[in-house]
Amino acid sequence: AQSVAQPEDQVNVAEGNPLTVKCTYSVSGNPYLFWYVQYPNRGLQFLLKYITGDNLVKGSYGFEAEFNKSQTSFHLKKPSALVSDSALYFCAVRDLGRGGGADGLTFGKGTHLIIQP
């Protein structure tokens, strides 16, 4: 089964500092990996994805993620954090061809990112 793990429940970063939110994956075959952000009482907003190609993926709001096959990781990064980046971040992996059609996503437990002014 496809799975992702987010080892940190919470990450605290000072505004203006770089941030990293960690994600590792366990998959059969090539991984389809995603990052989403969720603000309180809201749905999920797509940030970026890796399917194939360059290992460094650039996404929305200045976020990027680095796919590392040898370490089975897909960490989310941003060079300079903003207070408005404070939210709940989910790493997700595409489930693998179970339905004969579209596949769902399996999410990590989520990481609370807190940016301190």
**What is the spatial distance between Cα 23 and Cα 87, in angstroms, rounded to a whole number?**
16
Residue (14 or 42) nearer to other proteins, CB: 42
**What is the spatial distance between Cα 40 and Cα 20, in angstroms, rounded to a whole number?**
21
> For the purposes of burial, counting CB atoms within 10 Å of the CB of 111, is it exposed (0-12), middle (13-18) or buried (19 or more)?
buried
Q: Which residues bind to other proteins, rule: CB under 8 A?
A: 32, 34, 36, 41-46, 49, 51, 90, 94-95, 98-110
- Closest approach, Cβ 15 to other proteins, in A, equals 25
Residue (14 or 51) nearer to other proteins, CB: 51
- Closest approach, Cβ 97 to other proteins, in A, equals 9
The residue among 1, 4, 84 whose CA lies nearest residue 45 is 84
- Closest approach, Cβ 34 to other proteins, in A, equals 7
